[in-house]
Structure 1
Amino acid sequence: MKNTIFFSLLFSTLCGYAQNQKKTIQAQATTQAIFIDGKLDEAAWENASSANNFITFEPDNGKPEPENQKTIIKIVYDNEAIYIGAMMYDNEPDKILKEISQRDNFGTADLFGAFINGFNDGQQDFMFYVSAADVQADCIMTDANGEDYSWDAVWISKAAITNDGWIVEMKIPYSALRFSAENKQTWGINFFREIKRTRYKYTWNFVDAKLGTFTQQTGALEGIENIKPPTRLFFMPYASYYLNAGEGQKTYGTMKGGMDIKYGINDAFTVDAILIPDFGQTKYDDQILNLGPFEQQFNENRAFFTEGTDLFNKGKMFYSRRIGGAPTIEPDLNENEEIIETVQNVNLINALKLSGRTKGGLGIGILNAVTEKTFATIKDTISGETRRAVVEPLTNYNVLVLDQRFRKNSSVTFINTNVTRNGHYKDANVTGLAWDLNTKANTYSLFGNVKYSTINDTKDTNGIFSTISFAETSGKYRYSVGTDFVSKNFDPNDLGINFYTNYYNVYGNANYRILNPTKRFNSFRIDYEMYSEFNKESGKVQDNKIAAELNLSTVKNNYYGIGFTASPLESHDYYEPRTSDRYVIIPRKIDFWASLSTNYNYKFALDLNPSLSIADEPGRAAYGVDIGPRYRFNDKLLLTYTFSFVKRNNNKGFIDSFDDDANENTPSTIVFANRDVITYANTISGKYAINSAMTLNLAVRQYWSSAENKDILKLEPDGTLDPYPQYTENKNSSFYSWNADLSYSWWFAPGSQLSALYRNNASNFERIIDKDFKNNFTRLLTNDALKHIFSISVKYFIDYNAVKNKLRKRA
């Protein structure tokens, strides 16, 4: 018995020692042409050294891969690219999951990935994935920002199922990577495999889940010699055609053309430029009935502003939807005048960004964009005369980021955003300093930032935002504490987005998780959180909560979550009254939620998310549910449907305000309504994959929300609400919208795409609430608001190096 214990301890120690060692693989040079066909039958593969002995990353962290599902990797290189051959053995090849999905969407399929860091500095990985269905995905990974799949490289791969498992063959051109000009290269590298039917994930070099880092736990790739970073110059010309039609509108077609350019200044820095932008096929925004005091925040769907923008997101100071967004100036109207024509979004003239990182860890990001001078047409309703008024002048947007990384896991960042408008219009500037400091062992972190905003207008204003937090980031038990301070005049919203100001807070979090599976659970985590927020001037409580939640996944890979959030104190909302220094009292409340997501490996799966909120006020409550069944008919066809319903009873909200002219010392009259708010949303998404390069996609969303006022209330100076029956104006709200996209996408060559899109959409806002759902829906689809757009776009990728090599061969 003692000997058994001794040898067990010795074995565990040796395994732990081996796992903590950085593995090394040698790349083999070749002059032989390698055909990317998923066969690994060239002689170069036989002579290459192997990387094997993968270790479990999730869920049983640290356990060796099973012998009957072992993985073997080989690497060769030439003057043009690095080649990776991977053999994923599987004793049940007929059970390999291989759903065909869109690029950057893994679907329900086994997966192989290669993670490369050309500078071997533990800071940033270029990740290249191939699924068993031969679908590519790629991203940039940093520990601070996670995986950024908006980044797209141009590379070649092929996956093939065999009798022994499946094979992946990759060709990654040097132009898709970043590395130094040294004769002898040492790159950071790791390999990844996921067996989808068991949800087990493996890495070649051990990644210890107890540590708060992924990119620093890579192996090393050696043996690459005498290669030079290529000229990274890419041209992406495009041509688009749009056909627009609508009920009662003239049908017209438009042609567009332009070019994107990507140029690598050196081995570290890249310039991206768009000339004559075209965002006509960008995904539509999911608009809602917005009853709150703040604007609706939209996701960025334009590729230029999502691709490789991790540097620009430092400090959370950049909201790219400001560029080419809605006009910012409300024109002054004379008596009997009305706006008869304006724009929803200002046109972007051009944009440019420079980004990269030196070998010493200095990241530099520069972004510049210019939008055009924009007018609205105003009409005199009596004389019929029209005039034009500026709603947005010629505007220049700039972002500068300097991010110094050190010790492989820490950084200090300087950020500046600037908006300059031509003429006598508002300018804005925000400067920030952020830091993310971690101990060498990645066990503790100190995070924070300070931001200073300046608005140059008729009256200049300045403001400050600061935050600091401390956290333990490793082990089963982790915690964090922090505090924020925001002055009243802090305003980054010309190129950023921020809603709440004039407060300070304190907060803390503690959590427990398992690092290895048990008999019942693959993952298990409990979180507890406390938050208190106070108005900076009055000291009143603006927000408070105590929250706890449990999230777990079972050994059958079903996910469950449950939690609650309680606000044990009354809070004071300084934003809903829409008037400076006024507030409304928010009663104590408690929220409950639950979540279920069944295993997506099965053809039928279900997502279910019910919620309930109860306030300490008679009849004031809210409840809702999201139900999302999905069915995978086969490896090509997938349909997902989601129904969302929310009802808020006796919701109190702002509807109007006006000044009391009889007494200047009397505060503005602020009118609230006691209302019932009901929201329905139906969404359908579908995908039919013809093959790994060609897909048909469907996206449909129907939305309807109404707010019916039952009682009119007046906000008193002490934050309470009293009846106000003398207000008789109809302020009910009803908003309904429809969006439908049917698209075809074909990647006909590396980096080159043909896409066709049919879209119809409509929306309407009314003060009269028609509760007949069928009537509402039919009227929306048959009125003049419904618009039809058909577009087709072709983008072609041209690599300067490929063109140069072809010309040399012909010569």
Structure 2
Amino acid sequence: MSLKFKFKNICLPEFYLKNLQLRTISNKCIVILIFLSSTLFAQKKNDSYELKIRPASSLIKIDGIMDEAAWKDADLANNFHLVEPMDTSFAKVKTDVKMAYDKDNLYIIAICYHEPGPYFVESLRRDFAFNKNDNFLLFMDPFNDLNSGYSFGANAAGAQWDGLISDGSIVGLSWDNKWTSSVKNYRDHWIFEAAIPFKSIRYRPETTKWSINFGRMELKTSEKSSWAPVPRQFGTATLAYSGNLVWDQPPPLPGQNISIIPYTLGGIFNDHSNKPIIRNYRKGIGTDAKIAVNSSLNLDLTVNPDYSQVEVDRQVANLDRFELFFPERRQYFLENGDLFSNFGYQNTRPFFSRRIGLGVPIQYGARLSGKLNPDLRIGLMNMQTSDSGPDQPSQNFTVLAAQQKVFARSSIGILAINKASLNFSPENAIKGVSRYNRVAGLEYNLASANNTWTGKMLAMKSFSPDEKGNGMMQAANLQYISRHWNINWQHEIVGENYNAEVGYVPRRAYINLSPHAGYLFLPKKGPFVSHGPRISTSFFYNESFKSTDHTNSLSYNLNYRNRATITTRLTNDYVKLLKPFDPTNRSGDTLAVGSEHRWNSFSAGFVSRPQSLYTISLSGRYGGYYQRGTLLNVTSEFGYRFQPYVSLALSSSYNDIHLPKPWSNTQFWLVGPRLDVTMSNKLYFTGFVQYNEQSENINVNTRLQWRYKPASDLFIVYTDNYLPAPFSVKNRFLVLKLTYWWNI
């Protein structure tokens, strides 16, 4: 039985849809976005916050001990401001920060005071979760564009954090580079000390002012704080609220800046699905190179790259009608990757780097990216893949992106993509491989000086040999964020023949309107730091403005002062199937094209306080489903840590689907125990199992990583895949890989 509560169908009036002009929408969005950009052009909010930096007056040893004369002589940044639980006062726990430099390195030291007692961390694993660790972070924008930059830091146990900042506040932690740090603990404070080579970052050598901020998380008091004040509705990485690092003279030139990163590997692969067992031995060498054209422009080269050490994707129970998205993890594609990948929205990405080398090896590639001048970023990439037989000829991928800053923090970007099949034959076309596919377009990004207004508008056009009709994609959004309100309008218009083969566009031939609005109450007392409702809708129409599906939801979020959270949601769904669909994604039986389905559901979630050694995350959904059926989903994760060395987690997802015949009752589990052992902040072991009953697979993956020198690693990776019933081995894979980062 479905739940008995009922939503009224929320629909735009048919007469309005019939008379809606797409060009009118686009033109109005352009006018609104440009108006907001120009009217909100202003000086940086925290421009008065300055930390002066001078050359180190003595040698600095990175040991977490502040006993050098250089630190006594350096200027001090202190008096951190609270961001959470409330941004109206100074932080109770003190943080002192100093910075210095010499001809090779940028130095930073942070003294993080706290109430006596143990600290809270997950482990010594690199790139930890910000909200689950006592930590200190540096956010740095050497170009002062307030949209991109770097982040470095550590948790209280010494685990390193480094990432690239994009979109003004998003820190991507897959990036990895060469730098050193040390953390030392005392009774009432801990010290973080680091040296960041000038060769590891990009900057303008002639400038004497960088945008900078420092963030602190202290879980004992549940305080999140920053040096330059940041409103609580934004993250501490938000560059619009950064202060300034003021140099006594332009920073030193890094000199010849060439890094060669070779690797060698050996491995063995056993295919047990064949009798006799097929055994393949694998060996290989290759290299990456980073060549600084100047201090702000970098050339990346790769020859015969290998990504076998990259952690496998986490499996998910798939009940979706469309392709799932998994993020890029390969290092080569990450630095300045936002230049290429940030065009579009979640489901309308014209470029998605995981399409390159999908199932085939990459032979070589080159990528030039960075700043041509203070306001212009460029990216040019060319990648070549191997021939894998008649099903897949060798292919060449060329991508050009440029981003010109306008107004306070806004920008205009262009993107052009060309995918070409080499030695193309008619047999390739029969197999569904195209001779070429091209996409080009323009995007305008709005980011007001105070980050209250953000948005974008873009238009893309694809070109293919057999493309006919509407090959356009247009989209826009406008978001307003204040202390209490979060309001967003977004629409997408994707043509039937818009074909972005190197992108992520899971559906075509639709118009989507997706507004949402949320409000937060901020009580001064009581168990909650904030709580409030949110309403969101998503309407899909075909190109004739006929409704195909929609989702309407009303949720309420409760955020405790101890950082635990509770979420509840009521949802109303409608789907008119445009293609046959198996609602279990397992049986093979499908629902008919044109069939209509409506249901209501209720969901709730709970995440426990991160300070506990034992943590719980629970969520559930119950309600209607296709064909007047019901769906129960329960997802959980239980974790325990023996800090800072061992972290255990057990995640699970259970689905119980009741449908009429031929499906009847379908149940399946996805279970994933995980073990993280961090012997030090340079030696890690990870092991996890994924039992996916829906796809009838058990995956075992273990990885040992030894960082024997900064950015140089030894990996041992072992992977098994099993058939659950009857229990038997499908395949096994073992690889040993050694990388070395060599600065010339």
TM-score normalised by structure 1 residue count: 0.78
Aligned counterpart in structure 1 of residue 579 of structure 2, from 554, 558, 575: 575
Residue of structure 2 in register with 1:264 after alignment: 292
Choose 1 or 2 for highest CA Rg: 1
Are the equivalent residues in 2 in contact too, given 1:210–1:515 (CA < 8 A)? Answer: no
**For residues 727-786 of structure 1, what are the alpha-carbon distances to aligned partners after superposition, in whole Å with 9 as ceiling and x for unaligned?**
xxxxxxxx40111112211111111111112221135xxxxxxxxxxxxx3523x25x2x
Aligned pairs for 1:608-647 (under 5 A) are: 608-615=618-625, 618=628, 620-647=629-656
CA distance in 2, matches of 1:195, 1:399: 43
Residue of structure 1 in register with 2:27 after alignment: none
Q: CA 1:223 to 1:372, structure 2 compared with 1: closer, same or farther past 3 Å?
A: closer
Are the equivalent residues in 2 in contact too, given 1:454–1:460 (CA < 8 A)? Answer: no
The answer to whether 1:566 aligns with 2:580 is: no
Are the equivalent residues in 1 in contact too, given 2:123–2:647 (CA < 8 A)? Answer: no
1:81 CA displacement = 1.1
Are the equivalent residues in 2 in contact too, given 1:627–1:644 (CA < 8 A)? Answer: yes
**For residues 234-277 of structure 1, what are the alpha-carbon distances to aligned partners after superposition, in whole Å with 9 as ceiling and x for unaligned?**
11111111123354425453321111111111122112222111
Aligned pairs for 1:498-509 (under 5 A) are: 498-509=505-516
**Unaligned 5+ runs, structure 1:** 1-17, 326-344, 376-389, 653-672, 706-734, 764-776, 801-811
Are the equivalent residues in 2 in contact too, given 1:443–1:474 (CA < 8 A)? Answer: yes
The answer to whether 1:240 aligns with 2:252 is: no
One-letter amino acid of the structure 2 residue matched with residue 152 of structure 1: D
1:586 CA displacement = 2.3
1:613 CA displacement = 2.5
Q: CA 1:392 to 1:222, structure 2 compared with 1: closer, same or farther past 3 Å?
A: same
Q: Secondary structure in 1 aligned to 2:659? A: strand
Are the equivalent residues in 2 in contact too, given 1:145–1:310 (CA < 8 A)? Answer: no
1:470 CA displacement = 2.6
CA distance in 2, matches of 1:516, 1:408: 34
CA distance in 1, matches of 2:204, 2:702: 44
Aligned pairs for 1:764-783 (under 5 A) are: 777=724, 779-780=726-727, 782-783=728-729
Residue of structure 2 in register with 1:524 after alignment: 531
CA distance in 1, matches of 2:408, 2:162: 23
Are the equivalent residues in 2 in contact too, given 1:595–1:609 (CA < 8 A)? Answer: yes
Residue of structure 2 in register with 1:81 after alignment: 105
Q: CA 1:517 to 1:270, structure 2 compared with 1: closer, same or farther past 3 Å?
A: farther
Residue of structure 1 in register with 2:78 after alignment: 52
Are the equivalent residues in 1 in contact too, given 2:169–2:239 (CA < 8 A)? Answer: no
Residue of structure 2 in register with 1:495 after alignment: 502
Aligned counterpart in structure 2 of residue 141 of structure 1, from 138, 144, 165: 165
Residue of structure 2 in register with 1:686 after alignment: 675
**For residues 488-512 of structure 1, what are the alpha-carbon distances to aligned partners after superposition, in whole Å with 9 as ceiling and x for unaligned?**
21111x2112122222233321111
CA distance in 2, matches of 1:401, 1:145: 21
CA distance in 1, matches of 2:134, 2:581: 53
One-letter amino acid of the structure 2 residue matched with residue 206 of structure 1: P
Aligned pairs for 1:733-748 (under 5 A) are: 735-748=695-708
Aligned counterpart in structure 1 of residue 444 of structure 2, from 410, 423, 435: 435
Residue of structure 2 in register with 1:318 after alignment: 351
Q: Secondary structure in 1 aligned to 2:332? A: helix
Q: Secondary structure in 2 aligned to 1:175? A: helix
Aligned counterpart in structure 2 of residue 758 of structure 1, from 707, 714, 718: 718
The answer to whether 1:791 aligns with 2:738 is: no
Q: Secondary structure in 2 aligned to 1:216? A: helix
1:471 CA displacement = 2.7
Are the equivalent residues in 1 in contact too, given 2:271–2:277 (CA < 8 A)? Answer: yes
Q: CA 1:514 to 1:271, structure 2 compared with 1: closer, same or farther past 3 Å?
A: farther
The answer to whether 1:476 aligns with 2:484 is: yes
Residue of structure 1 in register with 2:312 after alignment: 284
One-letter amino acid of the structure 2 residue matched with residue 682 of structure 1: V
Residue of structure 2 in register with 1:162 after alignment: 186
Aligned pairs for 1:128-277 (under 5 A) are: 128-144=152-168, 146-182=170-206, 185-209=208-232, 214-225=238-249, 227-247=252-272, 248-277=276-305
Residue of structure 2 in register with 1:405 after alignment: 405
1:430 CA displacement = 0.9
CA distance in 1, matches of 2:473, 2:646: 49
Q: Secondary structure in 2 aligned to 1:437? A: strand
Residue of structure 2 in register with 1:391 after alignment: 391
Range 31-40 or range 435-444, more displaced: 435-444
The answer to whether 1:700 aligns with 2:706 is: no
Q: Secondary structure in 1 aligned to 2:231? A: coil
Q: Secondary structure in 2 aligned to 1:45? A: helix
Are the equivalent residues in 2 in contact too, given 1:60–1:516 (CA < 8 A)? Answer: no
Q: Secondary structure in 1 aligned to 2:208? A: strand
1:674 CA displacement = 4.5
Of structures 1 and 2, the one with the larger relative CO (CA 8 A, separation 6+) is 2
Range 288-297 or range 316-325, more displaced: 288-297
Range 505-514 or range 203-212, more displaced: 203-212
Residue of structure 2 in register with 1:30 after alignment: 56
CA distance in 1, matches of 2:319, 2:556: 31
Residue of structure 2 in register with 1:126 after alignment: 150
CA distance in 2, matches of 1:749, 1:230: 22
Q: Secondary structure in 2 aligned to 1:779? A: coil
Are the equivalent residues in 2 in contact too, given 1:99–1:133 (CA < 8 A)? Answer: no
One-letter amino acid of the structure 1 residue matched with residue 611 of structure 2: N
Q: Secondary structure in 2 aligned to 1:453? A: strand
Are the equivalent residues in 2 in contact too, given 1:547–1:566 (CA < 8 A)? Answer: yes
Q: CA 1:70 to 1:291, structure 2 compared with 1: closer, same or farther past 3 Å?
A: closer
The answer to whether 1:595 aligns with 2:601 is: no
Are the equivalent residues in 1 in contact too, given 2:231–2:483 (CA < 8 A)? Answer: no
CA distance in 2, matches of 1:138, 1:292: 34
One-letter amino acid of the structure 2 residue matched with residue 541 of structure 1: S
Q: CA 1:575 to 1:22, structure 2 compared with 1: closer, same or farther past 3 Å?
A: farther
Aligned pairs for 1:663-674 (under 5 A) are: 674=663
Are the equivalent residues in 1 in contact too, given 2:122–2:647 (CA < 8 A)? Answer: no
The answer to whether 1:550 aligns with 2:556 is: yes
CA distance in 2, matches of 1:405, 1:651: 57
- Aligned residue pairs total 672
Q: CA 1:439 to 1:651, structure 2 compared with 1: closer, same or farther past 3 Å?
A: farther
1:622 CA displacement = 0.8
CA distance in 1, matches of 2:355, 2:530: 40
One-letter amino acid of the structure 2 residue matched with residue 242 of structure 1: G
Are the equivalent residues in 1 in contact too, given 2:209–2:246 (CA < 8 A)? Answer: yes
1:351 CA displacement = 2.1
1:49 CA displacement = 1.5
Q: CA 1:439 to 1:165, structure 2 compared with 1: closer, same or farther past 3 Å?
A: closer
1:560 CA displacement = 0.8
1:224 CA displacement = 3.8
Q: Secondary structure in 1 aligned to 2:71? A: helix
Q: CA 1:545 to 1:126, structure 2 compared with 1: closer, same or farther past 3 Å?
A: same
CA distance in 2, matches of 1:688, 1:309: 30
Range 673-682 or range 749-758, more displaced: 673-682
One-letter amino acid of the structure 2 residue matched with residue 191 of structure 1: F
One-letter amino acid of the structure 2 residue matched with residue 54 of structure 1: F
The answer to whether 1:97 aligns with 2:120 is: yes
Are the equivalent residues in 2 in contact too, given 1:209–1:515 (CA < 8 A)? Answer: no
Are the equivalent residues in 2 in contact too, given 1:552–1:561 (CA < 8 A)? Answer: yes
TM-score normalised by structure 2 residue count: 0.85
Residue of structure 2 in register with 1:453 after alignment: 462
Are the equivalent residues in 2 in contact too, given 1:454–1:461 (CA < 8 A)? Answer: no
Q: Secondary structure in 1 aligned to 2:70? A: helix
Residue of structure 2 in register with 1:670 after alignment: none
The answer to whether 1:347 aligns with 2:361 is: yes
Aligned pairs for 1:726-737 (under 5 A) are: 735-737=695-697
CA distance in 2, matches of 1:80, 1:616: 62
Range 103-112 or range 48-57, more displaced: 103-112
